[in-house]
Amino acid sequence: MGGTAVAEDDAQQHGPRRAGLRPRNVVLLAVGIVIVIAVALLNVIHVPVAILRPGPVQNIFGEINGKPVLQISGAKTYPTSGTLDFTTVSMAGGPQYPVSVMEWIGAKFDHDAEIDPASMWFQSGVSGKQVQQQNTSEMTDAQQTAKVVALRASGLKVPEVIKVAMVADNAASGKLLKVGDVIVSINKTAIDRLDTVAQVMGKVKPGAKVAMVVSRNGEDVRLSVPTADNSGRAVFGIGITPSYTFPAKVNLNVGDVGGPSAGTMLSLAIYDKLTPGSLTGGKKFAGTGTISEDGVVGPIGGLRQKLAGARSAGAQYFLAPASDCSQAKGHVPAGLTVIKISSFGQAVSVVKKVAAGQTTGLPGC
């Protein structure tokens, strides 16, 4: 009994024994903590790059969120078949979606990802909101131009006037021209198209005065307007914008897609709906490219990613701006035929050829 009492007193005096961490476990715990901190830092520290990946691909004859992408009223329309897809790029980087070190490392192992300096895609000092506003504005302009090109190509008339949208503070024209003026003529040449202004002004010597007639508040005003030299071109120091009277209502629902690169494919889809027969002949086309009022197909970015996205979506043929063909070298997915185009008219022509089974001799990248 005495021995038992001593044992109890000893336990009460020194307390229960504690098992300490072994040195190996201490090292493992420290390493784990370092790894957690490192991963957290890799997700917080940003890299000044932009990462491009394939984005969503949309059939213009399909729907977005249950609503048709393309609807036309006020003009006769025709059934279509096949697909005319516009392609997009998913981009991380810039003020809206800065790239973390972890994302940057992951992109290096992604075959479809392209890593560029952020300065290639974003201007310094521009906010995320400003980037979004610019993208939205560019898409709005692209839709309007696509409508004009397609409607005119289908044989419908789209009257147009050119308005003064902005007058620079130091404009050579001074206060002669005002915002809202409709330009009726320049040097006796009637102005009824946006490209006519460039054609006429291309013949004017910088510094010379130009005879202009503008419509202001419903009255014609005759002016002699001085010009200035801008890199060898005669300019007034104003901004102009076209205003159209559309013969039919064309509604486009493109979701939250921004930028101008869907212009060419939108114009083709509108044209297809307005003309007899299926333009594609049931084939699956995708593509990209800006479109100007005179039908010129312009350059875009991210062609490599758009090719990958198009093929994943099932496209057989891809319409690419001729000016961007170099981007396609070595990046054309198996089963996808890339056709280079430089104008709306050429795009219509090659699509018709493919639809008719003429798949040889097409201009490729």
CA distance 336 to 177: 52
Q: Are 202 and 301 in contact (CB under 8 A)?
A: no
Is 185 considered catalytic here?
A: no
Collapsed DSSP state (helix, strand, coil) of residue 304? helix
CA distance 142 to 60: 14
Spot the catalytic one: 261, 267, 292, 343. Answer: 261
Spot the catalytic one: 147, 306, 340, 343. Answer: 306
Indicate if the alpha-carbon torsion angle 228, 233, 239, 245 is positive or negative.
positive
Return all residues near 120 (Cβ < 8 A) that are at least 6 apart: 50
The burial of 4, by beta-carbon neighbours within 10 Å (0-12 exposed, 13-18 middle, 19 or more buried), is given as exposed
Q: Which amino acid is at 146?
A: A
Is 261 considered catalytic here?
A: yes
For residues 279, 285, 291 and 294, what is the CA-based torsion angle, rounded to 10 degrees? Answer: -30
CA distance 326 to 274: 34
User: What's the token pair of residue 59?
Assistant: 């059939």
Residue 64's closest CA among 72, 55, 56?
56
The residue whose two tokens read 């009460």 is 12
Cα 13 off chain centre by: 78
Return all residues near 152 (Cβ < 8 A) that are at least 6 apart: 158
Cα 202 off chain centre by: 29
Active-site positions read 261, 306
